[in-house]
Structures are given as structure tokens and as C-alpha cells.
Amino acid sequence: MKIICIGRNYTKHIEELQNEKPTEPVIFLKPDSAILAKKMPFFIPAFAEGIHYEVEILVKINKVGKHIEQKFAHKYYDEIGLGIDFTERTLQSKLKAKGLPWEKAKAFDGSAVIGDFYPKTDFDLSGIKFQLIINGKTVQDGNSKFMLWQIDELISYVSQFFTLKKGDVIFTGTPAGVGQVHPDDILVGVLEGNTAFELKIK
């Protein structure tokens, strides 16, 4: 399976990191080794100076597709989920400053939290609400209606470059409110009232 991630898909998140607003989706990949095992805590890596959370709506691909027209994109997924793209922000900033790839900061072991998936028929896809709660406090409160590129647009765009296969997961981008995690933090992801994941930081 592939983990395909979309960066800079919410205007307020772009602004909080002082990034340039893209004219097309920003794509990067995580290997399957980045997936954090279910029910396992997230261990802050030894190399890390500052791990940031980024909660994101996830889409699971249900069949093989290439050069998918946007009008047919809805046929390529049945489920919506929630996850976290953990990011080593200090390292990412250094890599970006040198014009280098982000993988060391984005694709390290355990950097992809994949929570529970739910039938897409459970949601109004024009505006899916989601939150990240840390130690009982809501730190990110998002709605997919504010994405620069919606799910079907992303599937169509990504499929121009990568053949999508059954089981692939697309991370659709994070809203504003990202920040650093610390040992003993408890992170809870909520998707339209459903607890999609819960994990502890160590």
C-alpha cells in the first residue's frame, strides 16, 4: 500500500506556517513502515527536536485507477477515516531551507497514524467535521469544506502521477492549529462525533 499525503490544503494552516499558497496540490509519500501499529503509543524518535501533530481526514482507495476523471473519482473510495501526519518540524524547516526533500521529517517510522474508517455514506462529503483533542483540550477543529482541493479533485490529480491501488490511503491535509507533542500527552481524534483513534505519546 501507498500512503499519499497532501500538503498545504487549508489556507489558515498555510498562513500559520508562513508558506506560499500552492497553485496545485503538494504531494509527498510515506512508506508502509511509517504506519503506527494499532493500539501502540507513539515514541518520540531520538533524533527529534520538535514533533508536531497534524490531524487529517483520510480516504481509502477501493480499486485500481489511473488517470481518473474527477467525475468518476467518487467510485474509487467507500470509506472515510481520520489520522495524524506526525512531522519533525525543526528538521523539515532545515530541509526546506536547503531545497531538499522532506522524507526524513515526514516519513519516519510511526509517523502515520491511521485511525478507524467509516462508510462515506455516513457523512455529508461537502463538509466533514473533525477535531484533535490533546489532554482534554481541542487543539485542531477542522471542516473539509475549507480544503483548497476536495477529495474527488485530489484523487483525480494524484492518479495522473501514481496508479492508485486498493488499500492505498490518501491523507488530505491538515487545518490550522498544529503544535508540538510531549511525553504523556493523550491524543484523541474525533470524526463527526466518532472517536477514530486514541494514543499516548512516550
| pLDDT per 10-residue tile (average), the chain, 202 residues | 94 72 91 96 97 98 98 98 98 95 96 98 96 98 96 98 98 96 98 98 98
The pLDDT value recorded for residue 14 is 62
Exposure b/e, 70-87, CB count within 10 A at least 16 = b: eeebeebbbbbbbbbbbb
Full-model pTM: 0.95
- In the chain, the domains with their CATH numbers are 3-200 (3.90.850.10)
- What's the confidence (pLDDT) of residue 54? 98
Helix (H/G/I), strand (E/B), else coil: 155: helix
Q: Which three cell numbers stand for residue 201?
A: 505519546
Number of H helices, E strands in the chain: 4, 13
Three cell numbers written together for 122 = 455516513
Q: Enumerate residues 6+ apart whose C-beta is below 8 A from 75.
A: 63
pLDDT at 52: 98
Amino acid 17: pLDDT: 67
